[in-house]
Amino acid sequence: MGNTMNINLKVWRQENENASGKFEEYKVQANPDMSFLEMFDVLNEQLIEDGKDPIAFDHDCREGICGMCSMVINGRPHGPKGGVTTCQLHMRSFKDGDTVVVEPWRANAFPVVKDLSVNRGAFDRIISSGGYVSVNTGSAVDANAVLIPKETADTAFQAATCIGCGACVSACKNASAMLFVGAKVTQLAELPQGQPEREARVVAMVDQMDAEGFGACSNTGACAAECPKEIPLSVIANLNREYYKAKLNGK
């Protein structure tokens, strides 16, 4: 069979948020150069040909940018390799005959829609609460109109690489969203454009995070360890500083 791999899959199947789910076992042949999602495409084609319900999973760009591909693979969000999303994970990371267990994100704030697909609307509501900069639209300002020190720009850009996939929540034993919120707050707090709403923003976003039911941060570091964009744990410390400063100022 050449480069063909035989993979045993244990996949979480759940009809909807209120249904009780269970693992179901499948066998699939894959090429080592396939991405993990392409392997699921092959499996779904088999299921459809057999008249069975295909496995629901989230995906879009398949380039590690959109943050949609939310799978827990053998107990790790996005799988065994660091710094990659599920769509960037290739089957060569596994061995012929391996058994691979695939689950959705596990968090009360991310209810299962179906199978491996979860509703991450909680993240959208956190962003809507304050994760933006209010500006008057018009013609674009000159790129050098506002000078920003390189160190500041680098810190903001690093935080801005967060794709909102939710791996941090899935990895955390408390299902905390502090790494995500910390990244979004840090990104805007570092830049001049983010200063007018700086204090109101952090309070509103933290309040919304709590309202969504995410857990508290206990600084185990699992979030940063599993983040596909390697957002540093320091954004959580920065989030705490921003929040306490805002509260001291009466926000």
> Could you read off the pLDDT of 109-131 as tens digits, one per residue?
999 999 999 999 999 999 999 99
* Total residue length of the chain: 251
Of 2, 74, 72, 69, nearest to 35 by C-alpha is 69
Exposed/middle/buried for 144, CB within 10 Å: 0-12, 13-18, 19+? exposed
**pLDDT tens digits along 144-153:** 788 899 999 9
Q: Which fold has domain 5-113?
A: Ubiquitin-like (UB roll) (3.10.20)
- Identify any residues that bridge with 117 across adjacent strands, giving them in sequence order: 114
pLDDT at 223: 98
| Residues 214-242: b if buried by 16+ CB within 10 A, e if exposed | bbebeeeebbbebbbbebbbebbebbeeb
pLDDT at 146: 83
Check the CA dihedral 20-23-27-28 and report its sign.
positive
- What homologous superfamily does CATH list for 121-248? Alpha-helical ferredoxin (1.10.1060.10)
Distance CA 51, CA 28 (A): 16
pTM of this prediction?
Answer: 0.94
**pLDDT tens digits along 189-245:** 999 989 999 999 999 999 999 999 999 999 999 999 999 999 999 999 999 999 999
Per-residue DSSP letters for 142-160? PTTSS---HHHHHHHHHHH
pLDDT at 1: 45
Helical residues (DSSP H) of 81-138, grouped into ranges: 121-130
Q: Is a pLDDT exceeding 60 seen at residue 46?
A: yes
Q: Is a pLDDT exceeding 90 seen at residue 59?
A: yes
Q: Is a pLDDT exceeding 70 seen at residue 2?
A: no
Q: Domain residue spans in the chain? A: 5-113, 121-248
